[in-house]
Amino acid sequence: MLEHYWSRWRLVLLLVLSLVGAAALFFTSHNQQFYQRPIARVERVQPGAVRRTSDQFQNVDHQHQQRLTVRLLNTAARGQQLTVSNTYSDSQPMDLRYHRGDQLFLSQLKSRHGRLSANVAGYKRDGVIVFLFWLVCLLLLMMMGSAGALALLSVLVNTILFILAIIIDLKNNGEHVMLIFGSLAVIFTVVSLLLILGPTKKMLATAAATIIGTFTALGVSLLVFNWTHERGIYYESMQYVTQIPRPLFLAETLLGSLGAVMDESSDIIATLFELKQLNPAVSRTTLFLSGRSVGKSIMGPLVNVLFLIFMADTFTSSLLYIKNGNSWGYTFAMNMSLGTVQSLVSGIGIVLAVPLVSGFGALLLGRRTLK
């Protein structure tokens, strides 16, 4: 089997991917000419003074000075050396400690009497994304073959659609957010499932079930929002908001749960199609019940997948709130309430989808049972 596994085309693929990966990594470490901002490489690091800091919450930290001798890698002064100073702390929240060989962005690059001066403006990290993306492609294609290629394609197509929707949203100045991202959700579902399942009856059934499930969940949640007057939802705590937060939050929630509902729907529908194939005379009730039993075993883990994704991102800021003397309750409200609402709404979507998808599949495939 091993000989079979390492068939010729796999070896060729491995070779090609390794070459592409090496080329991409080489490019990202030598692409400074394509940047407008000045980039320099650290050649020497001289440690400077250390200062102890503490705040009213008894948090103790140390601030370190370092003098960096750097060589410019682009701009007109390419190849010239200069020294810049940098401050970093033990905890490194917004500052960074630089090491020899690091590439960094400079700002305020000025030349006075032939001496260059500049400020440190950030670390160059494009190579990391390229490397990880390459690793994902390598694993996907080597392990999963054509299924991996299709999965990759669907992720790439969805990224492009996502960017297009954001451009449309900005053209509309943030109005009709729900309309734009609601339609996007429908397009996402159809495109992803077309790529994964192909243009089949199964795909149509899964897409219809996903869309019904996701939007019903949002409807139910909006009803709950209405009844409780959105008490305890702090839209003002939403991060990076440049538009009206509420519709944006609902759009985020809708998109966030879409993938999970799609995942579950395709599992249930696939099982129902299989049952139908094994026994064409299968009744609707039987189909519905088997759909439900598939669904109830995957819904728990799926809700946890989304929960961990949504909540992990609130971890760092929650920690900061606690270390700033805030109560546990206030920390939760200001950092985690939106993530919790998002998890719960997605959870409702995932659970509601089980009977909806099973019922839909049963209606589509099952024979009417006469009573």
Partner 1 sequence: MSTITALGLVLLVLMVLVGGKQGWTAFLSLLLNFGFLYFAIVLIAFHVPPLFVTVTTGIIILAVTIFMGEDDLRTTVTAFYASLIVTAVLILLIVLVEHWAMVQGFGTEDSDDLEGMSILIGISYFKVLITVTTLSTLGAIAEAAMAISAGLTEILTTHPEASDRQLLRSGMAIGRQIIGTTLNTLFFGFFGGFLALFIWFAGLHYSLGTIMNNKIFVAEMIEILISFIGVLLTVPTTAWIMTKRRSKVAPR
225-254: which residues touch partner 1 (CB under 8 A)? 225, 227-233, 238-243, 245, 248, 251-254
Q: Closest separation between CB of residue 8 and partner 1, Å?
A: 19
Is position 328 an interface residue for partner 1 (rule: CB under 8 A)?
Answer: yes
**Closest among 313, 209, 205 to 258, alpha carbons compared:** 209
CA distance 124 to 70: 14
Smallest distance from the beta carbon of 293 to partner 1, in angstroms? 9
Shortest gap between Cβ of 114 and partner 1 (angstroms)? 29
| Footprint (CB under 8 A) of partner 1, residues 274-293 | 292
Give residues 166-185 in contact with partner 1 (rule: CB under 8 A). Answer: 166-167, 169-170, 174, 181
Which lies closer to partner 1 via its Cβ, residue 78 or residue 367? 78
Q: Which is nearer to partner 1, 36 or 369 (CB)?
A: 36
Q: How far is the CB of 112 from partner 1 (least distance, A)?
A: 27
CB 117 → partner 1: shortest distance, Å? 22
Taking residues 115 to 144 in sequence order and writing x for each that binds partner 1 by CB under 8 A, - otherwise, the string is -------xxxxxxxx-xxx-xx--xx--xx
Q: Which is nearer to partner 1, 115 or 201 (CB)?
A: 201
**Nearest-angstrom CA–CA distance, 261 and 67:** 53
- Say if CB 214 and CB 350 are below 8 A apart: no
> Could you say which of 319, 327, 330, 363 contacts partner 1 (CB under 8 A)?
319
Contact predicate 217/254, CB 8 Å: no
Nearest CA-CA partner of 216 in 54, 359, 316, 2: 359
Q: Choose one: 8-16, 52-60, 73-81, 275-283; the region binding partner 1 (CB under 8 A).
A: 52-60
Chain positions 186 to 225 lying near partner 1, rule: CB under 8 A, are 188, 192, 195-196, 220-221, 224-225
Neighbours of 222 (CB within 10 A): 13
Q: Does residue 34 touch partner 1 according to CB under 8 A?
A: yes
CB under 8 Å to 68, separation ≥6 — which residues?
A: 42, 44, 45, 46, 83, 84, 85, 86, 98, 120
Sketch the per residue contact string, 78 through 97, with partner 1: x for CB under 8 A, - otherwise: -----------xxxxxx-x-
∠ CA 259-241-248 to the nearest 5 degrees?
A: 40
Smallest gap from residue 300 Cβ to partner 1 (A): 3
The residue among 54 and 369 lying less far from partner 1, judged by its C-beta, is 54
Q: For residue 46, what are the CA distances in angstroms to 230, 242, 246? A: 54, 41, 49
Q: What are the backbone dihedrals phi and psi of residue 171, each rounded to the nearest 5 degrees, phi first?
A: -60, -30
Task: Name the token pair of 267.
Answer: 């599992």
Q: Please select the residue that binds partner 1; options are 318, 357, 359, 362, rule is CB under 8 A.
A: 318
Asked if 162 interacts with partner 1 (CB under 8 A), we say yes
Among 72, 260, 287, 365, binds partner 1 (CB under 8 A): 260
Q: How far is the CB of 367 from partner 1 (least distance, A)?
A: 24
Sequence-distant (6+) residues with CB within 8 A of 318 are 331, 332, 335, 336
* Nearest-approach distance from CB 43 to partner 1, in angstroms: 18
Binding residue (CB under 8 A) for partner 1 from 69, 216, 317, 367: 317
CB 344 within 8 A of CB 208: no
Q: Which of 44, 94, 85, 88 is nearest to 64 (CA)?
A: 88
Q: Which of 109, 340, 361, 366 binds partner 1 (CB under 8 A)?
A: 340
Nearest to 91 by CA among 69, 60, 113, 119: 60
- Residue 323 as a binder of partner 1 (CB under 8 A): the answer is yes
Rounded Cα distance between 316 and 253, Å, is 21
